[in-house]
Structure 1
Amino acid sequence: MAFIFQKLISYVEDIKERNHSSAAALVVIKDNKIVLEHYSGYHSNVPEARPIQENSQFNIASARKSYLGIAVAYALHEGKINSLDDLALKYFDMALLEETTIRHLVTHSHGLHQEEDGKIFREFPAGEGWAYRGINILMITELINRLYGKSFPELLEERVFKPLGFKETHWQTQESEHLVKVIHHPNEPASYTLGHKRDGTESNLHTSARELAIWGNLHLNNGYINGVQIVPSEVIRLAVQVQNPPYKNKDLPPNGLFWYVQDTPALKSEIGERVPKGSYQILGITGPTLLVIPEYNLVVAKMYNKRYNYGGANYLHYLREFSNLVADTFLESSSRVII
């Protein structure tokens, strides 16, 4: 069946070369079966680096927000957070929060930003704009850890990772031959991107392309996999349906709990306009993308290891182009008769 997805493989390889990534991986799950696994390149851009294999673990950077999103959904489902419309001041002692709600914090519509010296300031009134910042991720991470009395990675390990049989998804603090190094500059050797803590406050989540795809498939199936309801369906629904406040500017991207969600196609969305409504996607600065298209019963995970993988003002074009290509490939493949 791999020939059906040759356009996807060629695209992934082309971007790998153009953006000076030393590694690429692509996994496609269709109708709950892995129908394509493609691995190429090496763990680093230095001679004698380890080849990429199915157990190679990539730093997925901001794609880790989908894991935080499910922790928020658990907190809502279990009443530890009463409502997305709870005022953030109920949980945080910060004067700048004003009318900011939990909904604003988890959909990037909060309007807060942080200077290099740590000072927090307001860019725009909560709910009246969209900006991708880091302050809300730290706040929500700390909130979940406080509400559960344990880190959200520990929560997910107990409730999700172990039942799924995950062995390659961890917040890494030590070097390992299975970890893929990150290239910051093409002419400099790649390096490990590790953290000092495993509590979810640092961008050190590593996973294999296969386990990232299975993570997407868990969401596709509303928490039900291999005959077991691993995650309550309501938790998944909360995470991947549109949750942002209504925007006056219709070009702003719709979000679930950190996921980008396809509603009415928006110019500033990372999801292409040809992707069906109800699809959702998460991505990271090092090149990972996880795209789930429920209408096609399809999950696609791709990996790279280059920071600022798309770079510059064209990054939206690349991301939209890839998701459109996935949608087009499925439509093309569905019209063929495979013997």
Structure 2
Amino acid sequence: MKDGKTILEHLLGYHSFEPGAQKVNPTSRFNIASARKSYIALVIAYALYDRLLELDRPVHDYIEESNPVFSGVSIRHLLTHTHGIGEGGEGLYKDFTSGENWSYNNVGVDTLAHLVMEMYGVTISSFLQERIFDQLNWTETGWENDDSPQLVEIISSRDEKALNGLHADCDGTNKNLFVLFLQGNSLGGVSCILIKGGSVTGKSFLKKWSILQLPSRPPLDFRTTCRGTGLLCMYRTSHG
């Protein structure tokens, strides 16, 4: 996409390796996995714009009864994967002191997702549906719990059975977000909103300053040992 307009569209491949699998077509919808972080980043940008969040405030300021592992963790730490919290079979645990190292996992984005849902009193999915998807006519973007022929299965290996990528909960906190890759797809549209500082196809959704506040890279001390994996890492690399 360029300037909000589609420049090139091309499709190839099949929905799975199963015999008789249908070809990828203009109605095929793909599970975008960890790219969902960019959608949640939009909601966080709204929270910054509405003065509900401050990057360097402790998480405990926003959650009355949060887990002790969040002690010393700020909103910025959650955004940049420097919070130092790991997740295992027995739940959350402290892996390292917040801000002193970097580790990529879903703890930060999941915590932020639940936090902003509490702040706005609505789900991530319904918030984005009203504020973004409906206004841009992204009718084929959303979190799914029902299978359909249009949903492309997740293939991790040719030798393993493909996963459907569905989840019972469609509130926006899980990896069951499916989008079209053609016809003005929302993944490209969200990219434009984040890159253009809050606007796409002539419509303005956020002020540029609220987008620029979102860190796209970890602190300088860690940039030699990890790639940028802040919530906006795939769009911006110059703003830290």
TM-score by structure 1 length?
0.64
Counterpart among 229, 233, 236 of residue 259 in structure 1: 233
Identity of aligned residues (%): 32
Q: Distance in 2 between matches of 1:55 and 1:202?
A: 23
Aligned counterpart for 1:80 among listed residues 52, 59, 65: 52
Q: Which amino acid aligns with 2:94?
A: R
Name the structure where strand makes up a greater proportion of residues.
Answer: 1
CA shift, 1:242, in A, is 4.1
2:82 is matched with 109
Which residue number corresponds to residue 135 of structure 1?
Answer: 107
1:233 corresponds, among 208, 215, 239, to 208
Distance in 2 (alpha carbons) for counterparts of 1:121 and 1:66: 26
Over aligned residues, Cα RMSD in angstroms?
2.2
Deviation at 1:261, TM superposition (A): 5.9
Alignment of 1:172-187 (within 5 A): 172-187=144-159
Q: Which of 176, 191, 195 is residue 220 of structure 1 equivalent to?
A: 195
Q: How far 1:255 moved relative to its partner?
A: 5.1
Which structure has more helix as a fraction of its residues? Answer: 1
Instruction: Report the counterpart of residue 167 of structure 2 in structure 1.
Output: 195
Residue matched to 2:39 = 67
Deviation at 1:253, TM superposition (A): 3.4
- Please state if 1:38 is matched with 2:14: no
Q: Is the 8 A contact 1:39 1:53 kept in 2?
A: yes
2:62 to 91, 107, 116: 91
Structure 1 residue ranges, 4+ long, deviating more than 6 angstroms after superposition: none
Give the deviation of 1:35 after TM superposition.
Answer: 1.6
Separation in structure 1 between the aligned mates of residue 177 and residue 135 of structure 2, nearest angstrom: 19
Question: Residues of 2 paired with 1:185 and 1:151: CA distance?
Answer: 33
Contact 2:49–2:206 at 8 Å: present in 1 too?
Answer: no
Q: State the SS of the aligned residue for 1:104.
A: helix
Counterpart residue number, 1:326: none
Q: Which segments of 5 or more consecutive residues in structure 2 lack a partner in the other structure?
A: none
How many residue pairs were aligned?
Answer: 234
CA offsets 1:138-160 (integer angstroms, 9 cap, x no match): 21111111111111111111111
Q: What is the aligned partner in structure 2 of residue 152 from structure 1? A: 124
**What is the CA-CA distance between 1:131 and the residue it aligns to?**
0.6
Contiguous gaps of at least 5 residues in structure 1:
1-28, 264-276, 281-339
- Residues 187-229 of structure 1: CA distance to partner in whole angstroms, max 9, x if unpaired? 2442311011111221101112231112212323323233321
* CA distance in structure 2 between the aligned counterparts of 1:96 and 1:140, rounded to whole angstroms: 15
Letter in 1 for 2:75: I
Contact in 1 for aligned 2:81/2:230 (Cα 8 Å) = no
Asked if structure 1 preserves the Cα contact closer than 8 Å seen for 2:192 and 2:199, the reply is no
Contact 2:58 2:73 in 1 (8 A): yes
What is the SS of the residue equivalent to 1:127? Answer: coil
SS at match of 2:44: helix
Which string of whole-angstrom CA distances, capped at 9 and with x for unpartnered residues, describes residues 55-107 of structure 1? 211111111001111111111110111x1001111123222222210100111
CA–CA separation in structure 2 for the residues paired with 1:226 and 1:249:
36
Q: Would the alpha carbon gap of residues 195 and 122 (structure 1) be closer, same or farther in structure 2, given more than 3 Å must change?
A: same
Q: Counterparts of 2:129 and 2:27 in 1: how far apart (Å)?
A: 18
**Displacement, 1:243?**
6.4
